[in-house]
Amino acid sequence: MMKRLSTLRFPAWTFPLTLLFVCLLAFGVLAPQLGFYWDDWAKTAVNVLHGFSGYKPYYAVDRPFSGWTHILFVSLIGNQRVAWQFFNLLLRWAAGVSMWWFFSRLWPQARRQVALASLLFIVYPVFTQQPITVTFHQQWLQYSLYFLSLGAMVAAIRNPKRYWSFTLISLALTALQLTVTEYFVGVLLIQPLIIWMLVGEYLPAWKPRLIETIRRYAVYLAAFAGYVVWRMFLMPLPGNDPYRASTLFDFFNTPLQTALEWGKIILSDTLYILVGSWAPVFDLGLAESIPPFTAFSWAAATVCAALLIFFLWKLRLPELQPSDENRWVIQAVVIGLAAVLLGSFPAWAIGRQVIGDFHANRYALPGMFGASLITVALLTWFSRSWRQSTLLVAVLASLCIGFQLRVSNEFRWAWADQHSFYWQLYWRAPHLEPGTAIFFETEPFPDQGLFSTSAALNLLYPQKTSPEEPVAYWAYTLYPRFNERQPNPEGDSLNAAFRSFYFEGSTTNSIFVHFDPQRSNCWWFLGPEDSANPYLSDLTKRWLSLTNFDRIKASAPGEASPSLDLFGPQPEQGWCYLYQKADLARQNEDWQQAADLGNQALAQGFYPNERSSNVPREWLPFIEAYTNTNQWERAAELTLSSSQQDPKYGGMLCNLWSRLTPTNETDLATRQQVFDVLGCGP
């Protein structure tokens, strides 16, 4: 057995399969438990609400040709969230294989180092938004087109007889990827460096080499300049360019000041891409108790490191000769550093930077392959042998796999929160009248954006609309927009827009919802009675008078239900299901149904002193239902038990019992007993 392992060799074609294995481990393990995030919701809503023709007006504001990727891929895989997760994984894998293919042709003598760089590239830690699939599939597609275009450029120079054929292919692939986004326009400028290296293979003297490089690059430079001029000055947009190169224009007006500000941003972003982004990779997450998934991620990284080391040591690729090592290291560092700087330049030109909000690290994507090249080049230079550098890269890649698993786990919990909210919303409000605004005190899902939540709301409730018509629902937050305002009983108009979506409504046609994981088990639909809620802010209480429960209907037209492809399977019909349905029955004064739901809750073991159902406010629908079905003793029992769990709810419980009207002496005595125990006033 040992003899057989010692002679085992893996052919070069197995390397792409290894990259696929790495992608599946890093990004596929949790894929079935992930969903839609951020821009995903809006871009999915375009197709569902407006059809393929909706992509043109959606992207008209900044990237008028970008919608073709959605039309193509939605036609193939639809709007299924899990399918998108695996599809985006495959696009990332394809980008890694394309990188390996291109640089193997540029540096055939360094194919092992290229393999290591490609391996590191597909799990490099600077980009942490892989689960946002509908949005970032475009960048991974662009990556493959970018490397293929560079490969065609190499083929053109090395095959003089087919020079123009390959050149035209290279230009066509570049044009195609630039129709998607402008993310990769900066890294196009590494083309002259690559041409310089290629020309040096047959023209070593620097002067003729420079002239030949300029001659070869002229056609690419003309295409690049044409695109930049068109993108900055000629591209037809309906309004102001949201990605105007404001900082670049400032440089021409105030060069010194802009250069100093730019210098700080470039230095901090570059250091973060090359060094700072590695910090969370080495975070062991040690505490008194390590979360199970954290332990799993480190175990997976350990096993993967062993497998990668074995595979890479046995991979049948030529070794980089000592005579070529220094030259390759220099070339890899030069191209890598140029890619890192030029890759982020489009973001810097418009006043953005990699170190910013949650989504800002997307600006590092185009230069990510450069960071991988630099890392492998430096490890090659400092290592004593190829085995040592291979071991180090395998360990780093494995640590990145563990890190990406932990990132995916965070997205898994973010999806769980969204999944719970949208299904609870549907349970509590099977249908909402069009023109309804949903108010939160603050954004319900961190780093998602209200436009994202608004798009999801319009997918939750079926509707027929077009880009020329308003959508039916929109999400708002009280803070900060309404922080200093007083509610107008007559209502104030609400208007919102995001790209081709817009909404028209009124504050009097609003529903107020609230969730605090420390104080609630379920989402609450707030009403005037919540003015006595001890855990709501004064800001929220001030606006509760405008809650309009008439916007909620007990059934949807045609009995439509949420799409399982979009929102996932319906959760278990546990406490929150029973509570939301009881609250809906309470709204419609269907007391028997609410009481029956209460009986189901009690039969399933839910009670005010149980952890999963220990919030007094969530027992109010059941308490009121029991009194309206002549079960006052049970209502009193649940009330007093709830009060024991949290005495701060005494005022809210007293208010409820004060509204109840006993019909006999026994029920009156029961109410008085509750008053006495709770200390209710007259």
DSSP-H helix ranges across 159-205:
163-178, 191-199
Proportion of the chain in helix, strand, coil states, percent, rounded to 5 = 65, 5, 30
Residue 585: band (very low, low, confident or very high) from pLDDT cuts 50, 70, 90: very high
Instruction: List 439's β-bridge partners, or say none.
Output: 476, 512
Residue 6: band (very low, low, confident or very high) from pLDDT cuts 50, 70, 90: low
Say if residue 222's pLDDT is above 70.
yes
Per-residue pLDDT tens digits for 299-339: 898 999 899 999 888 888 888 888 788 899 999 999 999 99
Parse the chain into domains and list their residue ranges: 2-131+245-412, 431-553, 586-682
Instruction: List 498's β-bridge partners, or say none.
Output: 501
Nearest to 123 by CA among 72, 89, 165, 87: 89
Span 615-626, average pLDDT: 95
Element (DSSP H or E) covering residue 496:
strand 493-498
Check residues 190 and 665 and name the one with the higher pLDDT. 190
Per-residue pLDDT tens digits for 128-156: 999 999 999 999 999 999 999 999 999 99
Residue 667: band (very low, low, confident or very high) from pLDDT cuts 50, 70, 90: confident
With a CB cutoff of 8 Å and minimum separation 6, the contacts of 279 are none
Say if residue 2's pLDDT is above 70.
no
**The predicted structure's pLDDT at residue 554:** 85
Say if residue 226's pLDDT is above 70.
yes
**455, 501 Cβ separation under 8 angstroms:** yes
DSSP-H helix ranges across 525-664:
538-543, 564-567, 575-587, 591-603, 620-628, 632-645, 650-659
Instruction: List 494's β-bridge partners, or say none.
Output: 505
**The predicted structure's pLDDT at residue 682:** 64
**The predicted structure's pLDDT at residue 490:** 87
User: Does this model's pTM top 0.85?
Assistant: yes
Sign of the Cα torsion 342, 59, 243, 41 reads: negative
DSSP 315: B
Nearest to 370 by CA among 131, 90, 150: 150
Distance, in Å, from the CA atom of 233 to the CA atom of 435, rounded to the nearest integer, reads: 38
Instruction: List 553's β-bridge partners, or say none.
Output: 431
Output the CA angle 599-601-602, nearest 5 degrees.
65
Instruction: List 477's β-bridge partners, or say none.
Output: 440
Say if residue 293's pLDDT is above 60.
yes
DSSP-H helix ranges across 31-127:
39-45, 55-59, 68-77, 81-106, 111-121
Distance, in Å, from the CA atom of 668 to the CA atom of 656, rounded to the nearest integer, reads: 14
Distance, in Å, from the CA atom of 119 to the CA atom of 260, rounded to the nearest integer, reads: 36
Q: CB count, 10 Å around CB of 54?
A: 23
Per-residue pLDDT tens digits for 452-474: 999 999 999 988 777 888 999 99
Distance, in Å, from the CA atom of 636 to the CA atom of 671, rounded to the nearest integer, reads: 7
Residue 12: band (very low, low, confident or very high) from pLDDT cuts 50, 70, 90: confident
The percentage of the chain sitting over the pLDDT mark of 70, rounded to a whole number, equals 98
Distance, in Å, from the CA atom of 136 to the CA atom of 501, rounded to the nearest integer, reads: 21
With a CB cutoff of 8 Å and minimum separation 6, the contacts of 78 are 565
Residue 29: band (very low, low, confident or very high) from pLDDT cuts 50, 70, 90: very high
